[in-house]
Amino acid sequence: MRVADLSLPQRRYTVPAAGYPDLIALVPPSLPDRLDITGVMNLVESATFSLGTYASELHDPATFQTHLDLLFCREVSISGQVNLADVSLTDVLVERFAPQDSSQTRGNLKLPIAFRNALDHAVRLARQQGRDVFTLDNLLKIHAICAQGLADLAPAGEFRTKQTWIKGHRIKMARVVPPPPDYIQKCMGELIAFLAPGPGRTASMPIVIRIALVAAQVKAIQPFNILGSDLLMRILIPMMAAAEGMPPILVSNFLHRYHQAYFDALFDQQLSGNWANWLEFFLDGYRESIKEMMAITSGLRRLRQSWAEQTQDMRSDSAAHRIINTLLNCPVFTVQTVQRDHSMSFQTANNAISALTERGIIRPLHDNRRNRTFIAPGVVAVLEEDLSAHNADIGDRRVSA
């Protein structure tokens, strides 16, 4: 990053890079309390309307929590692949609902599992505490959960202590050089003040704008290493909506699908200080992500109805129906877990599973005769329905922005 890469206003925020006194780093200014959003007002209104519509459709808290659990699995499978972990959605579902001995957990699943735990923790806490959830201690705790057992994210729950840079094998070739470690505490303190306005201050901007600003600011500060900062950003986006009593929106699929436009919009904001391009990109993505989640929610409802139609010849109190009634809550299971959860004999559970397998509602994951694991392929199909673009070849998949 050179001085010439920065707009004149942004040059005021440069300092010597830590350990590289001849090079500069960019300390992002605190987020504005007010911002001219006239140019993106249509997108703001559209995203806000979509968010409200989605919230109004989620009448049953238990059903929403079931769907959210599956959506979290989808989100972390995407994020895991973004971060070069060779995982599939099925891998994540198996680990979530029918885990093996934790000591046998595949190394490439450790990041998605840790991310899912952190995401679930953050959203639950935000629902309980509202904006009070946004403290430095809580953000450090979220990072610590992400970092459990992962050397790449160490030290867990601590800000980075070394100079980092974005896009470039060497710092001299970097697109952006975030603030030196000594500035992180101040930058994050300002971010917390924006997230949780104190007495006498109000959040005057629409929530979708605030989420967009915070997402970009975390990427500009890079409080942890690149991977840890990226995971925090992806968690804060749904966390902020949850703190307002709204559905937590998950955006990884959109960001990954349009990764180059995502990087370009971020770098443009950081180097120019202009929010217009970033807001346009993010709001469009946020709105599309809401539509995506609404489509998945509708798809899961239709799937449940199709299961009912496929089993209408069975007694409503049959063992097979009892399994179907909890299949969205637990789409991966073993005969033993069915026995335990439904208080059935082995023979009853096995017969019910065979009946559902014959109808294609479930299928075995492998040919093992012992500890057989079954999955509902319809659930996987609904969650993966729009991921074809995500799974396409996208070139450089390193998390570097």
Q: Give me the mean pLDDT over the 284-296 stretch.
A: 94
Please give the Cα distance from 322 to 99 (Å, whole number).
Answer: 22
Please give the Cα distance from 310 to 359 (Å, whole number).
Answer: 7
Which residues, at least 6 apart from 358, have a Cβ–Cβ distance to it below 8 Å?
none
Mean pLDDT across the chain: 88
pLDDT tens, position by position, 7-35: 999 999 999 999 999 999 999 999 998 89
More confident residue, 200 or 401: 200
Is 115 within 8 Å of 146 (Cβ atoms)?
yes
**Of residues 228, 233, 243, 239, the one with CA closest to residue 282:** 233
Is the pLDDT reported for residue 159 higher than 70? Answer: yes
Specify the DSSP element, H or E, that contains 16.
strand 14-17
Q: Name the β-bridge partners of 176.
A: 166
Which residues, at least 6 apart from 269, have a Cβ–Cβ distance to it below 8 Å?
216, 220, 275, 277, 278
Chain CA centroid to CA 53, Å? 21
Is the pLDDT reported for residue 153 higher than 80? Answer: no
The predicted model scores a pTM of: 0.90
Is 398 within 8 Å of 84 (Cβ atoms)?
yes
Amino acid, single-letter form, for residue 395: G
**Of residues 85, 109, 82, the one with CA closest to residue 95:** 109
Please give the Cα distance from 279 to 209 (Å, whole number).
Answer: 7
More confident residue, 118 or 60: 118
Please give the Cα distance from 24 to 139 (Å, whole number).
Answer: 27
CA separation (Å) from 72 to 28, 92, 112, 231? 31, 10, 10, 13
**Domains detected in the chain:** 42-154+189-296 (1.10.3290.10), 313-384 (1.10.10.10)
Please give the Cα distance from 218 to 125 (Å, whole number).
Answer: 20
Q: Residue 89 is encoded by which pair of tokens?
A: 């959605």
15-19, 35-39, 145-149 — which is least confidently predicted? 145-149
More confident residue, 351 or 109: 351
In the chain, the percentage of residues whose pLDDT exceeds 70 is: 90
3-class SS shares of the chain: helix, strand, coil, % to 5? 60, 5, 35
Dihedrals φ, ψ of 269, to 5°? -65, -45
Q: What's the pLDDT band for 394 if we cut at 50, 70, 90?
A: very low
Is the pLDDT reported for residue 401 higher than 70? Answer: no
361 exposed, middle or buried (CB, 10 Å; 0-12, 13-18, 19+)?
buried
Q: Residue 375 is encoded by which pair of tokens?
A: 């999955």
